Amino acid sequence: MNIGSFLLTSVLLIGIPVALWSILVKLVASLESSPKFAGRRTEWQVALIALPLGFLSCAAWLSWTAAGKDGRAVGPGLPAPNTFPSWQIAACGITLVVVACGVSLLGRRLFAGSLASALGTSAGFALAMNVDVASMKEPSQAGVGVLISILFLTAGLMAATAIAAVCRAFFGLRTSRRD
C-alpha cells in the first residue's frame, strides 16, 4: 500500500466531504435545546467512537467474499474482492445501521449526536474502502466509489439515525439526569 496515495485520497475524497457534512452537524447542534438524554458524549466524541466501528464493519464484511470464482470463500486480504453475495452486502449494511444507531445513544444531544454518529460511521467505512484503493495502481474508478460511499452512505445513515432519534424522543426515552 502506498501511504502517500492513502493520505492524499483520504484528505480529498473523505476529509472534504466530512468537513462539509460536519457543518450540518454543527448547525443541528446549535439549534437543538439543552441536552436531556442519557448520553454524556459531545457530537465529536460520538463521531470519534463511531469512526473505528465503521472501519471495522467494512473490514469485517467486505475484506473477504463467500462468492469466490470456484464457489469457495476467499479469505481477507488486499486487494479486497469485488464480488459479494447479496446476503453479505445486506449484512454489512445492517451492521452499519446498528453501529450508527447504537453509538448515537452515547450522545448528549439527540439529533446532533445521531447525525455525528452517522458521519463517524460512514467516514470509518470510507477509510476502510480507501485502504483498498491506495493498494491499487490505478485507483481512479475505485476512488470515485469512495467518494460516492462517503456522500450517500452518510446521507442514508443520517436518515436512519434521525428516524431512531425521533422514535427515541417520541417514546420518551429520556433520563432525569442532572448535570
What confidence category does residue 154 fall into, taking pLDDT thresholds of 50, 70 and 90? Answer: very high
Tell me how many domains the chain contains: 1
Specify the pTM: 0.86
What confidence category does residue 175 fall into, taking pLDDT thresholds of 50, 70 and 90? Answer: very low
- The answer to whether position 142 is within a domain reads yes
- The answer to whether position 39 is within a domain reads yes
Is the CB of residue 29 less than 8 Å from the CB of residue 112? yes
- The answer to whether position 177 is within a domain reads no
Q: Which residue has the cell 417514546?
A: 171
**98-116 per-position pLDDT tens digit:** 999 999 989 888 899 999 9
The half-sphere exposure of 73 on its side-chain side, counting CA atoms within 13 A, is: 8
Helix (H/G/I), strand (E/B), else coil: 76 = coil
Crossing angle, helix 86-104 and helix 110-134, to 10 degrees?
140
pLDDT of residue 123: 96
Mean pLDDT of 138-146: 78
- The answer to whether position 179 is within a domain reads no
- The answer to whether position 176 is within a domain reads no
Beta bridge partners of 90: none
**42-101 per-position pLDDT tens digit:** 899 999 999 999 999 999 998 888 877 776 777 777 777 778 889 999 999 999 999 999
Distances (CA, A) of 27 to 30, 46, 147: 5, 16, 23
List the domain range (segments joined by +) for residue 17.
Answer: 3-170
pLDDT of residue 80: 76
